[in-house]
C-alpha cells in the first residue's frame, strides 16, 4: 500500500505539470472504484487546478468551487504520460492537462478513490478526525506521551493509529521504533516521555529520508513520473526477519502485532 512518503513523492512529481494548468479533457474508463467516480469529474473541463496539497495519504487538488480528493488505495498510482500514450489495463481515469501531459490514474485492485468535495475539505468526515502530520509543528514527543496515557495497546499499533498521527504505516513504524530503540510490543502507556521524544524524532527522520529517496517500492508503487522508490534499500528491520541486525548482529525476530507482520531486534530494542 502506498504510504505517506509515496503519496508525498507523487504530489511532488505531478505538481509541476498539473498545478496551475487547465483540465482540457476528462476520460473515465472505469467508474467503480472504492466509491463510484462522481459525474462532477467530467464537469471540471476548462477549470484550472490550484496548488496540490497532501493530508495524510490523501491528495487534494483545488479546482473550480471545491477540491478533488484522491486516495491511492492498495495499488493505485497517479502517473504523467504523453498525450496519445495508449492506456494499459487498469488505467481507469485520465485528466488531459493544458501542460500537454495526461495525469493517469492506474489501480489494479480498484481500492483507491477520487471524489469531489465542495467547500472546505477539512470538514469532510474522512479528514476531520485525522491526527497531526508527523512532519508538522503539531507533532512531537509531548503529543505522543499525552495521547498514550492509559493505553495498553502495543506501541507499534499506537503510532499506526491515524487519529494519533497520520501516515505512519507498517514499514515506517517498524523502522522508527528500531531507530528509537523501542520494542514494538511494549504497552504505549508504559513508555516514558523521554523515549517518546526519541520516537517522534525517529518518525520524522524515517519519513523524511523515505521522501528524499522517493518512497519504498515493495510491489506496486511508482512515482508520478513512473520511477520506483529506493528507500527499500535502506530498511533496517522491515522484511528482514531471521537476518542479522545491521547494528548489533543479533538475529532479527519476526512477530505479528495487530494482525500485521513486524520485525524487531531483541538486542537493540527494549
- Tell me whether residue 2 is one of the annotated catalytic residues: yes
Comparing CA positions, the residue from 110, 172, 134, 159 lying closest to residue 56 is: 134
- Tell me whether residue 260 is one of the annotated catalytic residues: yes
C-alpha cell at 206: 524515517
Residue 151 annotated as binding site? yes
Chain mean position to CA 57: 4
Which residue of the set 11, 54, 55, 57 is catalytic? 57
Residue 90 annotated as binding site? yes
* Torsions phi, psi for 269 (to 5 deg): -115, 125
Residue 92 annotated as binding site? no
Residue whose C-alpha cell reads 514494538 in the numeric block: 184
- Tell me whether residue 133 is one of the annotated catalytic residues: no
The span from the CA of 253 to the CA of 269, in Å, is 11
- Tell me whether residue 225 is one of the annotated catalytic residues: no
Residue whose C-alpha cell reads 490514474 in the numeric block: 105
Cβ count near 137 (within 10 Å): 7
> Are 139 and 177 in contact, with CB atoms under 8 Å apart?
no
Which residue of the set 34, 205, 240, 260 is catalytic? 260
Which residues are designated catalytic?
2-3, 57, 260
Going by the annotation, the residues of the binding site for DNA are 90, 109, 151
Going by the annotation, the residues of the binding site are 90, 109, 151
Amino acid at each position: 500500500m502506498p504510504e505517506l512518503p509515496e503519496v508525498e513523492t507523487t504530489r511532488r512529481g505531478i505538481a509541476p505539470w498539473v498545478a496551475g494548468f487547465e483540465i482540457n479533457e476528462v476520460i473515465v474508463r472505469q467508474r467503480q472504484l472504492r466509491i463510484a467516480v462522481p459525474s462532477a469529474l467530467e464537469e471540471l473541463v476548462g477549470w484550472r487546478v490550484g496548488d496540490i496539497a497532501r493530508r495524510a495519504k490523501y491528495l487534494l487538488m483545488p479546482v473550480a468551487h471545491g477540491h478533488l480528493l484522491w486516495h491511492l488505495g492498495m495499488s493505485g498510482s497517479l502517473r504523467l504520460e504523453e498525450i496519445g500514450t495508449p492506456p494499459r489495463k487498469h488505467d481507469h481515469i485520465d485528466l488531459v492537462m493544458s501542460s500537454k501531459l495526461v495525469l493517469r490514474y492506474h489501480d489494479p485492485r480498484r481500492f483507491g478513490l477520487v471524489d469531489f468535495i465542495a467547500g472546505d475539505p477539512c470538514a469532510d468526515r474522512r479528514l476531520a478526525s485525522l491526527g497531526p502530520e508527523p512532519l508538522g509543528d503539531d507533532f512531537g514527543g509531548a503529543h505522543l506521551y499525552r495521547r498514550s496515557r492509559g493505553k495498553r495497546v502495543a506501541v507499534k499499533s499506537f503510532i499506526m493509529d491515524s487519529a494519533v498521527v497520520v501516515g505512519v504505516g507498517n514499514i515506517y513504524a517498524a523502522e522508527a521504533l528500531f531507530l528509537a530503540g523501542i520494542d514494538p510490543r511494549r504497552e504505549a502507556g508504559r513508555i516514558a516521555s523521554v523515549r517518546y521524544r526519541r520516537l517522534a524524532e525517529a518518525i520524522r527522520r524515517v519519513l523524511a529520508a523515505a521522501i528524499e529517496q522517493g518512497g519504498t517500492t515493495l510491489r506496486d508503487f511508482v512515482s508520478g513520473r513512473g520511477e520506483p522508490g529506493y528507500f527499500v534499500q535502506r530498511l533496517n528491520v522491515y522484511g528482514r526477519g531471521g537476518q542479522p541486525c545491521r547494528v548489533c548482529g543479533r538475529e532479527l525476530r519476526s512477530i505479528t502485532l495487530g494482525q500485521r507482520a513486524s520485525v524487531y531486534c531483541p538486542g537493540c530494542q527494549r
